[in-house]
Amino acid sequence: MQKYSTRLWFLVFALGWAFDLLFWDVISPGVSFLIFSALTLTGGILLLWKGQIRPARNTWLLLAPIAFFAFFTFVRLEPLTAFLGYSLTLALMVILALTYQSGRWPLYSLADYFAGFFRMLFSLIAEPLIFQTQVNKTKAETDPVEKPPSAFWPVVRGLLFAIPVLAFFTVLLASADMVFSQRIDDLIKLFSLEKLPEYIFRLVYISILAYALAGLLLHAAKPAMDEKLIGLEKPLIPAFLGFTESAIVLGSINLLFASFVFIQFQYFFGGLQNIKLDGYTYADYARNGFGELVTVAFFSLLLFLGLSAITRRGEGRQQPIFSGLGIFLVAMVGVMLASAFQRLMLYEMAYGFTRLRTYTHVFIIWLGLLLLATIILELRNRQRAFALAAVIAALGFATSLCLMNVDGFIVRQNIARHVQGDRLDVGYLASLSTDAVPVLAGFYQSKTLDAATRDRVGAALACFDDRAASRAEDESADWRTFHLSRYLAARSLAPFNLSGYEFADKDYRSSVTTPLGETYNCYSYVMD
């Protein structure tokens, strides 16, 4: 890579400038993140390829999920789906850099991921400086003719170092003395540099980002043979806990879980008539339980994995007994997870779907699949592969949210419930993201809906239309904020004449009166 040091620095500073161009002064990113991700991946791979540094075969497999999640940051505006899109794109790009030449990410344990994170953090901080020092040293050793040092680059470097330091102390001194602060303001106005602090700040963060990207690329360029997987040859932590102690812990927890599961059977298979709790409805019983049961499942899984790593298991029957206790524990957790799922479905039947209920609904399914994978790995003595199973489960959960369109799913389910006679919270539908608008528009056009339901759906659409108009007035046209979800919402709203819906603002909260004379809020307090 030393041969291409100039190209490296040119690329990372160009990417830093691109980041500034795409994200500066943008409140709601649209296509920006997708473009920046594509530029970073393409530029980095081309530079490394030019330096004869080839990615491993497994490394190419990471490009598909990176592209998928980066694309869905441009497709979905529902908060958790968008957050997972951003987070997983960045996390997968870091994993790609960690295993660029080795491609050994499928063999990583949880410890390898933690260690890799700290190695990457060191590279981001120190690797560019070490690399440039080596480049300068190599040039000095290989250049037979001693050339007079250039004065240009030292001056540029000196200014780059001096500007942020001067800005820092200037701000402190201006805060300490009002007269000095006034003189600084006069100086800025004299040169018409009102935005000088902004330019300095932008130059500083562009430089920091470029430096970090250089560290990322240089880490990817490290030879693959330097990587050693933790615990592959010998365990990270030697087993120190006796088999008897672990068996007592697992056995006692199994007894507790088995008794809990036995009690659950009275309603899990018996239904509503078997629950007799004074002061509680069946839905209250469900609401107060599913979150705790999911928490129990999660921490039980961590407990079993921890005991599996630190327990000494000798020859003979100790290994099968420990595995049996662990599998029984996971099986009981699976039954409790099914109970949690049953409770959640009950709660949804009583009160409808919300984002949190939908997230939990999907999460329980993927957590259940992870439990099944844990049992299979224990039976095959492949506990190390749990990290890969966990990564697949996390990616599966995020992929499910992306593909299902959470807000559109909520609209479909709640309107279907309303058709069956349940209450429809128009305010909650109107408070969803624009991902919900095409689905709402489809129902509004449907000839099968009765007039009252269509009136309510129209109220939610009118709220979206009103917010879209306010947004268009508040924001100037900016191609960086273009988002497919908002575009599809606007296209879905365009054919409708919603002038019959009248708005009234009270305490900064909008309400809409429908053509049938009903009034609904354009917001909702429902959170869970």
Is 318 exposed, middle or buried (CB count within 10 Å of its CB: 0-12, 13-18, 19+)?
middle
Q: In the chain, pLDDT over 90 holds for what percent of residues?
A: 31
pLDDT tens by residue, 348-365: 777 788 898 899 889 888
Residues 74 and 214 both lie in one domain: yes
Residues 199 and 330 both lie in one domain: no
Number of compact structural domains in the chain: 3
Residues 212 and 316 both lie in one domain: no
Q: What is the CA radius of gyration of the chain?
A: 30
Domain boundary residue among 346, 374, 404?
Answer: 404
Spatial separation of the C-alpha atoms in residues 33 and 21, rounded to whole Å? 11
Q: Report angle CA 344, 65, 10 to the nearest 5 degrees.
A: 135
Do residues 321 and 245 make contact, with C-beta atoms less than 8 angstroms apart? Answer: no
Per-position b or e across 360-393, b if 16+ CB within 10 A of its CB: bbbbbbbbbebbebbbebbeeeebbbbbbbbbeb
pLDDT tens by residue, 190-215: 555 566 777 788 888 899 999 999 99
In DSSP terms, 504 is beta-bridged to: 511
Residues 418 and 355 both lie in one domain: no
Q: Is the pLDDT of residue 339 over 80?
A: no
Q: Report the pLDDT value the prediction gives residue 92, as an integer from 0 to 100.
A: 95
* Residue 190 C-alpha from the chain's centroid: 46
Spatial separation of the C-alpha atoms in residues 475 and 272, rounded to whole Å? 52
Expressed as residue numbers, the domain containing 103 is 2-142+151-226
Residue 231 lies in a domain: no
Residues 469 and 346 both lie in one domain: no
Spatial separation of the C-alpha atoms in residues 300 and 326, rounded to whole Å? 10
Residue 167 lies in a domain: yes
Return the higher-pLDDT residue of 104 and 287: 104
Q: Report the pLDDT value the prediction gives residue 408, as an integer from 0 to 100.
A: 95
Q: Report the pLDDT value the prediction gives residue 165, as an integer from 0 to 100.
A: 81
Q: What are the tokens at 430?
A: 């109107």
Residues 76 and 203 both lie in one domain: yes
Residue in 482, 443, 395, 392 with CA at minimum distance from that of residue 77:
482
pLDDT, mean of residues 212-238 = 76
Q: Report the pLDDT value the prediction gives residue 37, as an integer from 0 to 100.
A: 95
- What pTM value is reported for the model? 0.83
Per-position b or e across 436-457, b if 16+ CB within 10 A of its CB: bbbbbbebbeeeebeeebbbbb
